[in-house]
Structure 1
Amino acid sequence: MPINCEKLSFIASPAAEAQAALEELSRLYGNRPVGEADVIVALGGDGFMLQTLHETITSGPRVYGMNRGSVGFLMNDYRVENLPERISVAVENEFHPLQMTATDTDGAISTALAINEVYLFRQSYQAAKLKVEVDSRVRLDELICDGVMVATPAGSTAYNLSAHGPILPLEAPLLAMTPVSPYRPRRWRGALLPNHVCVDISILEPEKRPVNAVADNAEVKSVLHVRIAQSTKLTARILSDPDHSWSDRILAEQFSN
């Protein structure tokens, strides 16, 4: 079924290239307010796409990105011609973000959403010492490492991949749990988890080995405990060109050099 794209809203990152594209596309196709749009067209790189998804996920519009930044894995190629026709036949990808609930050393509780990953990392020269539970069952009673993350399929090609974690197909009902520089257990290289589980990570020796937690770009310092679970109430919807779909990009990434 063709995607309705009569009302387009164009938004852009501050980069000069993105701002020039915003001016050109607005002149050609008009520019509706975000709240009135059938589709939001995000102009920039992957960072701007994540920012756009975070800002619009509660209202649930479709987002179509075009690359006017330095990294564009989540973006489609930039072309001006026949944009409404192109969007109307785009492939829609839906996914639910992770929700991080973090308790810090002062007892304050913070929540944040992650489209890519939730990441815990050591704050000082001392390695982090963590206890990992999955659905209330202790899986690692002591993980010593520089950090550990839980990544979505959408985020599996980001920091997770740099930390030698697995690439997950977008449709896979899985999460990747990947350590960064694990020291003990020395041979533990991570796990694949069903996306419906709840992960609890407790910080051991928090005064000696302080740890920060990040959900995409939202950081909480000096945490004692972090809970990570997929949000079932919120849905992000990204559009990709059928000849270069997001699923195809993730598959191709697994065979790249």
Structure 2
Amino acid sequence: MKVKTVALFPNMQKSQSTSITMGVREFLFQRNVNVVAEDLIAEQIGANPLTSVDPNEVDLIISLGGDGTILRLLQRHPELKAPIVGINLGSLGFMADIPIVDIYPALEDLLKGNFKVQERLMMKGTTIHKETCLAVNEIVVHRAKNPSLVDLAIHVDGMYLNTFSADGLIISSPSGSTAYSLAAGGPILTPDLEAFLITPICPHTISNRPIVLMPKDHIKIQYLNEYEPVEVTYDGFANFHIATGEVFYIQKAERTCSLISLPGHDYFSTLRQKLGWAGTLKN
């Protein structure tokens, strides 16, 4: 595939972000690649405005920041379907796994087509008021302003699973299994799996454990207490509240998140580095 147009999404709050982004832009310009960026920062980094091209004309997306930068661009620009490569400007990320020192070799691989695209599962959430959201990592139902545990009843494909008394529930994709769910005691799922992971947050009963479901399953969560509404967040974005008796639905989204995998940057090496595993091969 010949790369003609690349969209840059830098996290301008990161140190050295502007200079690194301008270096990437210049590298691409010299190779006759049209570089676009969000209209508010395009002039600042010497790129063309994102609105100057049809979203379908964008061949690749380069995110410069961390995993959060990738999640934000997906939320702000759902019209972009091009595969994403994440260059990490801070500590190593699970999705943004290219370190600064590897930027230019990574760019060479991109322009040569020397990469693979991994399609990662996304989730769709829907309220009874037909409000919707998309998530790459997780959808969280949390007790919000309530000072005590809340009761959340779960049905899977119409069958009752359990009522969790907890601070909340995390419904995670495999990509999100290394995020909030992991901190709450959930297992790690490799990102090429297709599955839903339900992890209770600080459950009252210690036997309430995480459970993995098939992605074809439709999940219904009902809030039972006569307390203040609970809050629904998705990939760190807060948007919905669920009142007593209301339900929230979660299912597999029609679209996926396309992430680029470059040579020399595999998921397991990232996992070992990020989690500080010290195991070594033994003869």
TM-score normalised per structure 2: 0.79
Structure 1 unaligned runs (5+)?
A: none
Shift of 1:197: 0.5
Normalised TM-score (structure 1): 0.87
Higher helix share: 2
Paired position in structure 1 for 2:104: 81
Deviates further, 5-14 or 37-46: 5-14
1:181-200 → structure 2 map (5 Å cutoff): 181-184=202-205, 186-200=206-220
Alignment partners' CA distance in 2, 1:255 and 1:70: 12
Q: Distance in 2 between matches of 1:243 and 1:80?
A: 13
Residue matched to 1:23:
22
Give the match for residue 227 of structure 2.
208
Residue 256 of structure 1, aligned match among 277, 280, 283:
277
Considering Cα pairs closer than 8 Å and 6+ residues apart, tell me whether 1 or 2 has the greater RCO: 1
Greater Cα offset, 93-102 or 196-205: 93-102
User: Percent sequence identity over matched residues?
Assistant: 24
Q: Distance in 1 between matches of 2:107 and 2:92?
A: 24
Given that 1:89 and 1:242 are in contact with CA atoms closer than 8 Å, whether structure 2 keeps it comes out as yes
Question: Do structure 1's residue 228 and structure 2's residue 227 form an aligned pair?
Answer: no
Q: How many matched pairs?
A: 247
SS in 2 for 1:212: strand
Amino acid at match of 2:231: N
Tell me which amino acid in the other structure corresponds to 1:215: Y
1:133 is aligned to 2:132: no
Question: How far off is 1:40 after superposition?
Answer: 1.1
Match of 1:32 in 2: 35
Say whether the 8 Å CA contact 1:168–1:250 is kept in structure 2: no
CA deviations 1:180-225 (Å, max 9, x no partner) are 11114x31112110111111000002x3253111121142124421
CA-based RMSD of the aligned residues comes to 2.3
Q: What residue identity is the alignment partner of 1:208?
A: Y
Residues of 2 paired with 1:96 and 1:209: CA distance?
Answer: 32
User: Tell me, what secondary structure is at the counterpart of 1:243?
Assistant: coil
**Aligned partner (choices 158, 163, 166) of residue 145 of structure 1:** 166
Residue segments in structure 2 that go unaligned for 5+ positions in a row: 37-49, 279-283
Write out per-residue CA displacement over residues 226-255 of structure 1, whole angstroms, 9 at most, x where no aligned residue: 1110112x1211112221123653577688
